[in-house]
Structure 1
């Protein structure tokens, strides 16, 4: 079986519920390492002219307790809380290996971590980011919210058109890619406590606001409903088949 024939378009989805950030990060690293090990074996198989194995794809969906994460290009001063204030707000802080600056995760926010081998789909990281954004944009449209992109700023925004009076971010993205295997992902504010964004310079952007589905609609929204709708669009845009694993 050739590398092309071994492409796997199935994505195993796991709904992890509320999970500690470090636990989810370690799990991502574990899945990433397992996939990279298969890819290393496949490189040897190709050289030897023997069959290659299909690599897996995973999507972890979860929420986190209050946590701030700082990406590789981020500035520590964009966190406006000291150690004592973090404890007071029942929040933790982690420097991590994704791209991007600082962001917040917390209850009521839908966090998605795709651990995908892009060799199974397309090897273009910018296209991958646009696919994640587009799936969120289509999901928000189901709630009659017209969202889009702002040139030069990763993520999904409302009032995104040039010259709009109040651009506000509803979904943040930050990914890492190793030998075309992705980790980290997106954070969509559904019923998020937006006050926690007041303690950072979100994604290093000081002149734009953040928002949530709850804020925009004036009501709480079922996180499971949002998950289900987002999964439909993500599967369609990746031409993927979703399978669901036991939690």
Structure 2
């Protein structure tokens, strides 16, 4: 089942087309890679899909309850509510809050008690707070940070900050998770752990995962299909094996062995 369809998507900044006539079709529970040289338009494409930018042209459609719904130009919080969540190339955490509070804060849109219940501390307030705590701790267990729950986010090692950002994205209960260079800055051990984590959360949460990544060993190992951007245009798409042997992709990005 198609969960996300992009048709002739274009984003212009002045006279520059950062994304030009891009077409994507992503199926349920796929693990998709998005690769290309720096400046190819990959993060701009993510920003379009998640509502940070409004398309200049083209259509973005998301499967919502079995119907394809146009989401181009919707606000990011609306798109998140429809089932798309993301991490960022530059880590965006509340650095002076604890690991646990970072995840709990990401769950604020799912809170089910009223303002009156919160002010009066009614039983519904305590029940809901306990639910949020339990769910946040479950996510920290998934990413291996439960024992760091009271540590300030800024005091985590870099690789664990990346994992915390993934836990925050999962707190939105997405059906599609966008990961923007999740292995950037990681050492080989951290990259191996991240690869295992991506596989785990895809299966455990029945997710579709789309990732931008420059670590080709990671991309070729875990992605089922890959799209390649160059100068804002999609120049190839296919299986890792097909992409690895595509002459145009080799010339634009992968280079010769």
Please report the TM-score for the alignment, with normalisation by the length of structure 1: 0.29
